[in-house]
Structure 1
Amino acid sequence: MARLASGIWVSAYLARLGQANIPAYVMMRGDETAGAILVKCATLDGRARVYARAWDFETDTRPWTDWMSGAEPDVDAALRAERSRDPDLWVVEIESREGRTLLGEEGLT
């Protein structure tokens, strides 16, 4: 299965979130071609959850998995630390009280 370039995937994801009226923006811009992508969902109550892609070797897929969650300042600090280790990293931030990310929906897997 061919991988979509990171910048194209992020643009398409932001467009899909916009169609669903879910506010989102790029918090950290990474490498356009091959940067890893993390998705932060701020639930507007001081907490946040971050999702990342991980290989599932049994199914040979890359589902979105829970990378971390906690108080939003702690999550932001972890994201900054991760970015300092990986300057190619993308971070997309979503603001959704319900925690909606649309990850795993058709076309976003």
Structure 2
Amino acid sequence: MLLSSDLWVSALLRRVEQAGSFAFIARRGDKAYGAVLVKVLNLRTRETYVLREAQKGEDTLWMRPIETKDEADLDAWIARQVKYDPDIWVVEIEDAEGRHFLTEPVDI
């Protein structure tokens, strides 16, 4: 059984908070089925990256859909994704080590 998007996002925010970092919902999408983008800012290096859930065969993993670390380019890419999919969620995480706090496999 899959979790609804709002419940999944709430769990992610909770993990971030418990680790002493900061996260917020930059954009709310569809509560039940909205896709989720996770934007991470490393507070030490100021590098930023975005992760998106993807299917690899039958497995689900998170990957970087865009390789740039320039925050303006990432924000422009996110804006294009929102225009394409208005149900999308955007969660922004600020962490001193640049951690994403996802429990699912991540291909970085």
In the alignment, the residues of structure 1 paired with residue 53 and residue 90 of structure 2 have an alpha-carbon distance, to the nearest angstrom, of: 12
With structure 2 as the length reference, what TM-score do the two structures score? 0.86
The percentage of counterpart residues that share the same residue type is 39
TM-fit CA distance, 1:46? 4.5
TM-fit CA distance, 1:6? 0.4
Query: Are 1:42 and 2:41 an aligned pair?
Result: yes
Number of paired residues? 103
Find the counterpart in structure 1 of residue 30 from structure 2: 31
Q: Which moved more, 1:13-22 or 1:37-46?
A: 37-46
Gaps of 5+ in 2: none
Cα RMSD (Å) of the superposition?
1.5
In the alignment, the residues of structure 2 paired with residue 49 and residue 97 of structure 1 have an alpha-carbon distance, to the nearest angstrom, of: 14
Find the counterpart in structure 1 of residue 70 from structure 2: 71
Q: Where do 4+ consecutive residues of structure 1 move more than 4 Å?
A: none
TM-fit CA distance, 1:47? 3.1
Contact conserved, 1:27 with 1:92, CA < 8 A, in 2?
A: yes
Find the counterpart in structure 2 of residue 16 from structure 1: 15
SS at match of 1:62: strand
With structure 1 as the length reference, what TM-score do the two structures score? 0.86
Query: Are 1:52 and 2:57 an aligned pair?
Result: no
